[in-house]
Amino acid sequence: LEPTIIRTTEVHTPPTGLSTMPAGCQLKPLRIGALEIGFPIVQAALSGYSDWPMRMLAREHGASYSLCEVMLDQFLVTLKSERLKNQHFLYNSPEEQPVAGQLMGAEPEQFSQGAKKLVEAGFAVIDINFGCPVKKVLGRCRGGFHLSQPDVALEIIRRTRDIVPSHIPVTVKMRRGLDDTQQSRDNFFKILDGGFRLGLDAATLHGRTVVQRYNGPSRWQFLTEVKREFPDKTILGSGDLFTAESCLRMIEETGIDGVTVARGCIGNPWIFEQARALSSGRPLPPPPTLQEQRRVLERHWNLCAQLYGEARTGTLMRKFGIKYSASHPRHLDVRPDFTRIRTREDWWSVLDTWYSDDAAGVYPPVAIHEVEGTSCNC
């Protein structure tokens, strides 16, 4: 592996006169606790996606920080080292650091034991999931359910902060409430305020409620309110970040410290270098050409095979291929071919069919993400 790691700590100044970014906006380097992250547009936690290959590619394309897919405390506590099949969940490598391990669970004591496992596995930040809206998860009093029980949520934060060494930041991911009631809003602020008092180093806020799941837009205005309430704390935003411009715009409009790109970077690691270009005053780069896309498609397969073995890679890469196809000018024709992938030969055959010319690519249509979000899980 020869990753190109981009580290920056400079202040990014976007161009004046860009229609999507008001003149004079400055992106300050992101810091989480004692950790200097730098460029504040990072890769979100994405269950079923943000594994080591995806994080490596995000890193190589300019994301300075990323979050692993969520893991259950119960799973971590019972994970035996001989069960190689599941070890990939914990896999992280020095080239991609800093990476956060994210944890979900119901019971404070077990939660903190899970956090200990993530620390031992080498994650640089421990992130607590109080946002997942899946029915099964809520039914088991996990994820977004904690937004309805602030005392338990705070106990989870307290125990996690206690067990995680003080130099490792502890952060939380929240939706803006369970629903739109005043009680939900009060609970949200009780958890966040109490959490910061207990030593939380940052919070990532998704501007939808748990019951809203993915229906309707993410309420960015709520992020503005939260940042006003906690001006000295590190707040990251999430929700409807499908283009490089929208990432910069969320920071500018809300005053938050950084953003986590989620659906917008699946099969689209280029969004990070596009955001870097805009933030340093350069024009938006053109979409990657088909040859550039091919290089990433080949690398993604190879990283995946390195982690999981060739036999499992075909099934795992299908969903990524479908997402990558959105950057192809004939994506409606390319997409079905990725759904049939089983072997390395199948993958290379799709690349030979669709990615042999060096034609221009396209920016993924925003509508693709919006529709698919309705069936996702966190």
Total residues belonging to the chain? 378
Residues 6+ apart with CB under 8 A from 368: 326
268 is a site residue for ligand FMN (CB under 6 A):
no
Residues sharing a CB contact under 8 Å with residue 23, sequence separation 6 or more, in sequence order? 16, 17
**Region of 43-51, 78-86, 159-167, 221-229 interacting with ligand FMN (CB under 6 A):** 43-51
Q: Which residue's beta carbon is nearest to the bound ligand FMN?
A: 378
Q: Which of 25, 30, 44, 100 binds ligand FMN (CB under 6 A)?
A: 44
Q: If you compute the radius of gyration of the chain from its CA atoms, what whole number of angstroms results?
A: 20
Nearer to ligand FMN, 239 or 288 (CB): 239
Nearer to ligand FMN, 205 or 303 (CB): 205
Pairwise CA distance, residues 66 & 248, whole Å: 17
Residue 90 is classified by DSSP as G
The answer to whether residues 219 and 184 touch, using CB atoms and an 8 Å cutoff, is no
**Contacting residue, 47, 66, 74, 112, with ligand FMN by CB under 6 A:** 47
Cβ count within 10 A of residue 355: 23
Cα 348 from chain centre = 28
Distance in Å, CB of 132 to ligand FMN, minimum:
6
Residue owning tokens 């502890």: 170
Q: Are β-strands 234-238 and 66-72 bridged in parallel, bridged antiparallel, or unpaired?
A: unpaired
State whether the Cα torsion 94-99-104-105 is positive or negative. Answer: positive
Q: What stretch of H or E contains 124?
A: none
45 binds ligand FMN (CB under 6 A): yes
**Counting contacts by CB under 6 A, is residue 238 touching ligand FMN?**
yes
- Among 21, 46, 164, 236, the residue binding ligand FMN under the rule CB under 6 A is 46
- Binder among 98, 264, 269, 314 for ligand FMN (CB under 6 A): 264
- Position 217 contacts ligand FMN (CB under 6 A): no
Q: Which of residues 303-362 bind ligand FMN (CB under 6 A)?
A: none
| By CB under 6 A, residue 125 contacts ligand FMN | no
- Phi first, then psi, for residue 265 (nearest 5°) are -115, 5
Q: How far is CA 310 from the centre of its chain?
A: 26
Q: Does 129 bind ligand FMN (CB under 6 A)?
A: yes
With contacts defined by CB under 6 A, name the span among 19-27, 92-100, 222-230, 239-247 that binds ligand FMN.
239-247
Complex with ligand FMN: residue 21 or 70, whichever CB lies closer: 70
Pairing mode, strands 202-206 and 170-175 = parallel
Is residue 209 within the footprint of ligand FMN (CB under 6 A)? Answer: no
Distance CA 231, CA 148 (A): 25
Span of 2-10, 110-118, 235-243, 351-359 interacting with ligand FMN by CB under 6 A: 235-243
131 binds ligand FMN (CB under 6 A): yes
Question: Using the rule CB under 6 A, is 25 a contact of ligand FMN?
Answer: no
Q: Residue 63 interacts with ligand FMN (CB under 6 A)?
A: no
- Check residue 216 and report its DSSP letter: S
Q: Between 128 and 334, name the residue whose CB sits nearer to ligand FMN.
A: 128
By CB under 6 A, name the binding residues for ligand FMN.
Answer: 44-49, 69-70, 102, 129, 131, 173, 206, 218, 238-241, 262-264, 373, 376-378
